[in-house]
Structure 1
Amino acid sequence: MTTNPFAPLLRDHRFAVSAATLLTLPYWTSGLAKLADLSGALAEAEHFGLHPAAAIVALTVLVQVGGSLLVIAGRLAWLGASALGVFTAVATLIAHPFWTVVDPMARFHERNTFLEHAGLIGGLMLAAIVREQTR
């Protein structure tokens, strides 16, 4: 039987909080940036044809910041991770439809971004499991 030298670290609540904070970093920083630049956030929603833009931005900020806080706190982490996962799936389909891109280099980059977002969804699924087990 081998012992895991990382076991104490993996059981440390601070490690779980740090991991959840890093996993949700793209979301809560984006939500805060949208709050700091509402005109830019509204322009982004308009760019993607999302209406009403103000409601979309408000919901986006709520999901990004609120969902992140739930995952980080480990309270209702399943709800926060689910909200962020659904948001990511919808946003990725809207913003990164690599299958419609003609230029090979642009398609390559869009596909990679699409797959990175799919990986974030998987990470959020794991976070929902782990955060619920470690609280």
Structure 2
Amino acid sequence: MSALIDSITGSRAFGFLARTILTSMFWLSGIAKLADFNAGIAEMAHFGLEPPALFNIATAVTQIVGSVLIIANRWTWLGAGMLAVFTALTIPIAHTFWTMQEPMRTIEFHVVMEHITVIGALMVVAWKSSKAPVVPAQ
């Protein structure tokens, strides 16, 4: 059974599917920001990002380019880094749970924990895509 699982999870198709699913929240959001540009601008304005049109473009480009780099498995570390930094920056901009009253405080806290988990997943992608040999801790 182990050999079957290894052959599935070690396949190129599995890797492609895994990278596509992991990044789907980013590239879908980026496409949506470009497809409904006015809604993207309104979202940026809602969070006080000025000029909102420029932030909408920068956000969409970051989300799409970072995703493409990961999905293509080329410069994966850069794509993962782009999306991890982007995700970390959304916390103090859009998910300020510490300023909220209950029940929103708890809801946004859980969103932040999910963001931190996604950052961890992106770190794993960067780590596993590295061609460098693993050096045991001393």
Same fold (TM > 0.5): yes
Separation in structure 2 between the aligned mates of residue 101 and residue 121 of structure 1, nearest angstrom: 23
| Aligned AA (2:33) | K
Offset of residue 55 of structure 1? 1.3
Offset of residue 4 of structure 1? 5.1
* Counterpart residue number, 1:40: 39
TM-score, normalised relative to structure 1 = 0.92
* Counterpart residue number, 2:113: 115
Contact 1:85 1:124 in 2 (8 A): yes
RMSD: 1.4
**Alignment deviations for residues 85-119 of structure 1 (CA, whole Å, 9 cap, x no partner):** 0000001221111111122x211110110100110
Contact 1:85 1:121 in 2 (8 A): yes
Offset of residue 3 of structure 1? 4.3
| Aligned AA (2:42) | A
What percentage of aligned pairs have identical amino acids? 40
Q: Which has the higher contact order (CA 8 A, sep 6+)?
A: 1
State the number of aligned residues.
Answer: 131
TM-score, normalised relative to structure 2 = 0.90
How do residues 69-88 of structure 1 correspond to structure 2 at under 5 angstroms?
Answer: 69-88=68-87
How do residues 44-83 of structure 1 correspond to structure 2 at under 5 angstroms?
Answer: 44-83=43-82
Q: Provide structure 1 residue ranges, at least 5 long, that are not aligned to the other structure.
A: none
Name segments (4+ residues, structure 1) moved above 3 Å.
Answer: 2-5
